[in-house]
Structure 1
Amino acid sequence: MSALAPSPMSDERKLGIVSAISATFAISLAWGLSSPLISQHLERMTSSGVLLGWLISLAAVATIVATPFVPKLLARYSVRNVMGVCIILGAATIPAMKIFMVPEIWFALKFIASCAFTVVFVVAEIWINSQSPEHLRGRIFGMYGAALAGGMGLGSGLAVLTGIDGWSPFLICTGINLMAILPLLIFRRASVPQTTPSADARFTAIWTIMRAAPAIMMCAVVFGAIEQTMIYFLPVY
């Protein structure tokens, strides 16, 4: 007896996946531009590779701090509202860096931006996962990963065209970040995860997952450390 053919995805689900991938592509594009922008300006201000290393560590800490809050946020607010507010918050830190060319303030702004965009990426991945049928999930997440990598690469290349001096690169980076809101506004018919208060929406959930799959988590830690080191140190050294 032949297996039943998987049912096709609805247009609403397809739009949901497109919305999430498009939004994160725009953010990764801006991230690719901001990384050399931040690292080279910080090098000019401090001439210290140590501070640049601490900045990378701070971004990692922000990820750990922000991620456990996602279940609580989604239990109270819609996916679009959570992503939209965090995109605006993260984008606002870029012009603030230009206004306040002080390393200590940059560290605070970088922490805020990393927290905000961590929430965006986690929510986007929840969105994609919830809308992807099981037989296509791996392929769709492969497309998502390719979009992020492509955005980072294009953003770094864009830095060659914009340079790092003056307001232009900061404003362009801010504008690209804000473009991430457009898919959320345009694709109003897109299906989104139904978020309701749940007993599982607790801050300790991430630690439960880490204990359940330590090998996978350690691979992610090593990959993240190598990736962030390359992104921030290569433009300087």
Structure 2
Amino acid sequence: MRWATYFAVTAAVIIVGLALGVTLPLVSLRLEAWGYGSFAIGVMAGMPAIGVLLGARLTGRLAGWFGTPQTLRLCLLASAGSVALLTLMPSYPLWLFLRLLIGISLTVVFVLGESWINQLVEDRLRGRLVALYGTGFALSQLCGPLLLTALGTEGDQGFWLSAGLLVAGSLLLLGHGGAPQVNAESASGKGLGKFCRNLPAIAWAVVLFAAFEAMVLTLLPVYLLREGFAQQLALIMVSTVVVGDAALQLPIGWLADRVPRQTLFRCCGVVLLASSLSIPALLHTSLIWPVLVLFGASAGGLYTLSLILVGQRYRDDALVRANAHIALLWGIGCLLGPMSTGAASQWISGHALPMLMALGAAGFVWLAFQRGAFSEVAGARQPG
């Protein structure tokens, strides 16, 4: 196995998470300082999600035309240029376009980076090494806002640091091989419906985790404040969910190399269902802290195991195509999760966030126990 390449690609994608963790809140804070309202800031925040949907369609074609390593480097440099222009051209309409470009180019980076990692790793180590990547990315996103706090939000240092990080990520990939070989036509973004029919549990798990991640940082603090928690304590509770997601992915990956992965996948769904249902009842008790850890860990485990199960089955352009479908499903989850939860919170129940997560987890559990739920991965070698 090419260990140097694995760590280089993993580091490059983790750097993207750190750059996003700095840039995304900085853009929102800058718009607020300019006097823009919540709707305008929300529209700006939604542009990368639209970019995800577009970028997933373009990834296979770009990799087929330019090759996977070259496409990754070009997209990282394009993202760096777009972030730099956020500093040089402070215009709301232009920022909308630049955020769209950032969403498109970084989606290509995620799809090809995760495909490259899955192509490289040996199956006996797949669980641990994919989980190591997931842990690193989650921690990088968590460190981004902390780094922004140290840099300050008044100046443009955060934008320039993010641009520099993205350039450094492109340089890390120089001289490395073993990337998926991609046919531009066969790895285009077509075939999402077939992917969902063949792997319904994996498809729904990706949508569910995307909705979870979008809601945790945006709507969970609001939910906790409305339930009477002080702002500082609410943020600590949100951080507990994120830390649970990051810290327990490696144990989940270790288990994935020792027990049947489909069984572990189902267990994560059951734990997510139980923890979601427990939140309203235990919210004002000391038991809420382990529940929040399990809430984050089980949701993160669904995504980690989705990547592992896809990686053990597909190679080359089929792997890129599968990861492009995952990116499309991610974009759908990011769009639908906060919208549906926000509407339900306003008009149905104040506990809509954990209840909708429980409903989604119940749907996953039902799909995961259906015959043929993993038909596309059944032939691959399983641990345990």
TM-score greater than 0.5 by the shorter chain:
yes
Give how far 1:146 is off: 0.7
Q: 1:224 aligns with which of 190, 207, 210?
A: 210
Say if 2:14 and 2:140, in contact at 8 Å, map to a contact too: yes
Q: 1:210 aligns with which of 172, 182, 196?
A: 196
Runs of 4+ in 1 over 4 A off after TM superposition: 229-234
One-letter identity of the residue aligned with 1:17 = Y
Unaligned runs of 5+ in 2: 222-230, 232-384
Give how far 1:194 is off: 4.5
Q: 1:195 aligns with which of 177, 181, 191?
A: 181
Question: What does residue 6 of structure 1 align with?
Answer: none
- Counterpart secondary structure, 2:173: helix
Question: What does residue 3 of structure 1 align with?
Answer: none
Unaligned runs of 5+ in 1: 1-8
**RMSD between aligned residues:** 2.2
Give how far 1:231 is off: 4.3
Question: What does residue 15 of structure 1 align with?
Answer: 4
Return closer, same or farther for 1:228/1:91 CA change in 2, 3 Å cut-off: farther
- Matched positions, count: 221
Deviations 1:113-143 (A, max 9, x none): 0100110111001101111111111111100
Say if 2:68 and 2:182, in contact at 8 Å, map to a contact too: no
Question: What does residue 89 of structure 2 align with?
Answer: 100
Deviations 1:9-35 (A, max 9, x none): 3xxx21221121010111111111112
Say if 2:63 and 2:184, in contact at 8 Å, map to a contact too: no
**Aligned partners of 2:131 and 2:31: how far apart in 1?**
34
**Aligned partners of 1:109 and 1:199: how far apart in 2?**
28
Structure with more contact order per residue of length (Cα contacts < 8 Å, sep ≥ 6): 1
Return closer, same or farther for 1:199/1:83 CA change in 2, 3 Å cut-off: closer
Q: TM-score with structure 2 length normalisation? A: 0.53
| Greater shift in the superposed pair: 92-101 or 22-31 | 92-101
User: Residue 32 in 1 paired to residue 18 in 2?
Assistant: no
Say if 2:60 and 2:182, in contact at 8 Å, map to a contact too: no
User: Residue 76 in 1 paired to residue 62 in 2?
Assistant: no
Say if 1:31 and 1:152, in contact at 8 Å, map to a contact too: yes
How do 1:88-127 residues align onto structure 2 when only pairs under 5 Å count?
Answer: 88-127=77-116
Give how far 1:71 is off: 1.6
- Counterpart secondary structure, 1:180: helix
Q: 1:86 aligns with which of 56, 75, 97?
A: 75
Say if 2:56 and 2:108, in contact at 8 Å, map to a contact too: yes
Say if 2:62 and 2:184, in contact at 8 Å, map to a contact too: no
Say if 1:131 and 1:191, in contact at 8 Å, map to a contact too: no
**Aligned partners of 2:197 and 2:53: how far apart in 1?**
15
Percent of residue pairs bearing the same amino acid type = 24
Question: What does residue 157 of structure 1 align with?
Answer: 146
Say if 1:68 and 1:206, in contact at 8 Å, map to a contact too: no
